[in-house]
């Protein structure tokens, strides 16, 4: 059996009608689908205002520009996709990279160290692999030290902690709707704003007017695809969690699992083992595709200031990800489990 790392859902039948409607109307951008997507996503998150953009990277960049980080420290975790640090650099901020804990999100003790030692303008937690960062502690520390909070929620559509969704904790938040994300439109992103003082600042950066601005707009086609995906995200997240629970039960005595915080939506299912490279090679030989998230740490990648990162250094060498997506069948899950257990026996 071959199990791909990701399989695209066929969306043709479901959205054909919407796409035809867009073509027939002739309104290809800034139309009803984008408006509807922004309205429904805003209600889904429970935030004040949502504006779509063309990627998660531009969402982060726009949020950081709105927070005016030029020449200021932005604290972020060592383990994330490179766009998290790149957006800070592009916006003129100074990335200050700190360690992660067993949830693979920002280490809170180190965050407080960083806040004590540096004049930090923005705390930028990442809800990695669909798992919530420790937002109650981060919010408390942000208030104590007078910093803004920008959540990188690119991997956490629908994740929740204490009844509050990822993206609705901080002052502002960035989402990606890249093809493999839990809410997808192929390419796309959104800035979600909770702090009322930031709404006008984001608007100014996106609409041609007072400030020189890029055009980061989506087309109506992308919004129609995204709307369809958004309406299925809760059901799809439940399926992801069901698969993760089966994996967790099967692997908990052999591998190190990601420690869950709150309602994790498993954008990525990760395991840790010192013999990672051997295991992924053996899985590959048996038709099971895996990936390494992430083979780099952000401060090493971009040579930025950082605190010691012993956990992230270790995790970088041990982490690997198994297939997890809504269309993964029970038979495929069974095959992944039995194959990995068989490999583990021989380690
Ligand atoms: C944590 C994180 N931040 C930012 C991004 C950037 O999003 P995009 O690829 O849509 O630019 C991604 C995903 O790709 C991501 O996983």
Over residues 30-46, the mean pLDDT reads 97
Confidence of residue 9 (pLDDT cuts 50, 70, 90): confident
**Residue at token pair 């930028």:** 124
Please check the confidence at residue 207 and state whether its pLDDT lies above 90: no
Q: Which atom of ligand 1 is nearest to the CA of 126?
A: 1
Confidence of residue 8 (pLDDT cuts 50, 70, 90): confident
Over residues 162-168, the mean pLDDT reads 98
Q: What is the pLDDT of residues 142-152, one digit of tens each?
A: 999 999 999 99
Please check the confidence at residue 104 and state whether its pLDDT lies above 80: yes
Over residues 238-255, the mean pLDDT reads 98
Q: How far is the CA of 113 from the centre of ligand 1 (A)?
A: 27
Phi, psi of 328 (to 5 degrees): -65, 125
**Residue at token pair 């493999």:** 180
Instruction: For residue 253, give every residue at least 6 positions away whose Cβ sits within 8 Å of its Cβ, in sequence order, or none.
Output: none
β-partners of residue 149 are 123
CA atoms within 13 A on the CB side of 204: 11
Over residues 291-299, the mean pLDDT reads 97
pLDDT recorded at residue 200: 94
Over residues 67-90, the mean pLDDT reads 98
Q: How far is the CA of 254 from the centre of ligand 1 (A)?
A: 31
Q: What is the pLDDT of residues 187-197, one digit of tens each?
A: 999 999 999 99
Cβ atoms of residues 118 and 96 within 8 Å: yes
> Which DSSP state fits 288?
B
Please check the confidence at residue 217 and state whether its pLDDT lies above 80: yes
Any atom of ligand 1 within 6 Å of the Cβ of 152: yes
Cβ atoms of residues 79 and 85 within 8 Å: no
Phi, psi of 134 (to 5 degrees): -75, 75
> Which DSSP state fits 308?
-
Pocket test for ligand 1, best of 74, 77, 176, 183 (most atoms within 8 A of CB): 176
Over residues 127-138, the mean pLDDT reads 98
pLDDT recorded at residue 321: 98
Any atom of ligand 1 within 6 Å of the Cβ of 126: yes
Between 69 and 12, the more confident residue is: 69
Which of 56-65, 140-149, 199-208, 216-225 is least confident? Answer: 199-208
Over residues 74-87, the mean pLDDT reads 98
Q: What is the pLDDT of residues 300-337, one digit of tens each?
A: 999 999 999 999 999 999 999 999 999 999 999 999 99
Q: Which domains does the chain have, with CATH numbers?
A: 12-230 (3.40.640.10), 233-345 (3.90.1150.10)
Confidence of residue 34 (pLDDT cuts 50, 70, 90): very high
What percent of the chain clears pLDDT 90, i.e. is strictly above it?
95
pLDDT recorded at residue 208: 75
Cβ atoms of residues 153 and 166 within 8 Å: yes
Instruction: For residue 292, give every residue at least 6 positions away whose Cβ sits within 8 Å of its Cβ, in sequence order, or none.
Output: 276, 280, 319, 320, 321
Cβ atoms of residues 112 and 142 within 8 Å: no
Please check the confidence at residue 13 and state whether its pLDDT lies above 90: no
Confidence of residue 124 (pLDDT cuts 50, 70, 90): very high
Any atom of ligand 1 within 6 Å of the Cβ of 155: yes
pLDDT recorded at residue 258: 98
Confidence of residue 203 (pLDDT cuts 50, 70, 90): very high
Please check the confidence at residue 103 and state whether its pLDDT lies above 80: yes
DSSP string, 136-158: HHHHHHHHHHT-EEEEE-TT-TT
Q: How far is the CA of 344 from the centre of ligand 1 (A)?
A: 32
Confidence of residue 40 (pLDDT cuts 50, 70, 90): very high
SS3 assignment, position 293: coil
Q: How far is the CA of 15 from the centre of ligand 1 (A)?
A: 25
Cα dihedral value 94, 99, 104, 106, nearest 10: -60
pLDDT recorded at residue 210: 78
How high does pLDDT run on average in the chain?
Answer: 97
């Amino acid at each position: 059996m071959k199990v791909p790392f990701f399989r695209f859902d066929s969306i043709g039948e479901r959205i054909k009608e919407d796409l035809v409607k867009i073509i027939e109307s002739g309104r290809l951008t800034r139309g009803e689908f984008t408006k509807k997507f922004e309205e429904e996503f805003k209600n889904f998150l429970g935030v004040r205002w949502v504006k779509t953009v063309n990627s998660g990277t531009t969402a982060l960049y726009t949020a950081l520009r709105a927070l005016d980080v030029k020449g200021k420290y932005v604290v972020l975790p060592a383990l994330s996709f490179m766009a998290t640090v790149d957006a800070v650099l592009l916006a003129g901020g100074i990335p200050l990279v700190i360690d992660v804990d067993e949830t693979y999100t920002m280490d809170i003790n180190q965050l407080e160290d960083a806040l004590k030692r540096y004049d930090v303008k923005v705390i930028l937690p990442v809800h990695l692999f669909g798992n919530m960062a420790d937002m109650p502690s981060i919010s408390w520390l942000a208030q104590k030290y007078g910093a803004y909070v920008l959540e990188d929620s690119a991997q956490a559509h629908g994740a929740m902690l204490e009844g509050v969704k990822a993206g609705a904790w901080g002052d502002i938040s960035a989402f990606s709707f890249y093809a493999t994300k839990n809410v997808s439109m192929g390419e796309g992103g959104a800035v979600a704003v909770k702090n009322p003082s930031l709404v006008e600042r984001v608007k100014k950066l996106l609409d041609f007017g007072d400030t020189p601005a890029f055009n980061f707009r989506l087309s109506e086609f992308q919004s129609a695809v995204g709307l369809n995906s958004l309406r299925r995200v809760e059901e799809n997240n439940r399926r992801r969690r069901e698969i993760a629970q089966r994996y967790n039960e099967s692997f908990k005595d052999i591998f190190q699992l990601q420690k869950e915080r709150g309602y994790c939506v498993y954008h990525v299912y990760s395991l840790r083992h010192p013999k990672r490279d051997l295991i992924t090679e053996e899985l590959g030989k048996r038709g099971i595709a895996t990936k390494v998230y992430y083979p780099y740490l952000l401060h090493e990648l971009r040579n930025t200031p950082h605190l010691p990162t012993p956990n992230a250094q270790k995790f970088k060498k041990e982490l690997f990800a198994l297939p997890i997506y809504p269309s993964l069948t029970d038979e495929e899950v069974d095959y992944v489990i039995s194959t990995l257990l068989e490999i583990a026996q021989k380690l």
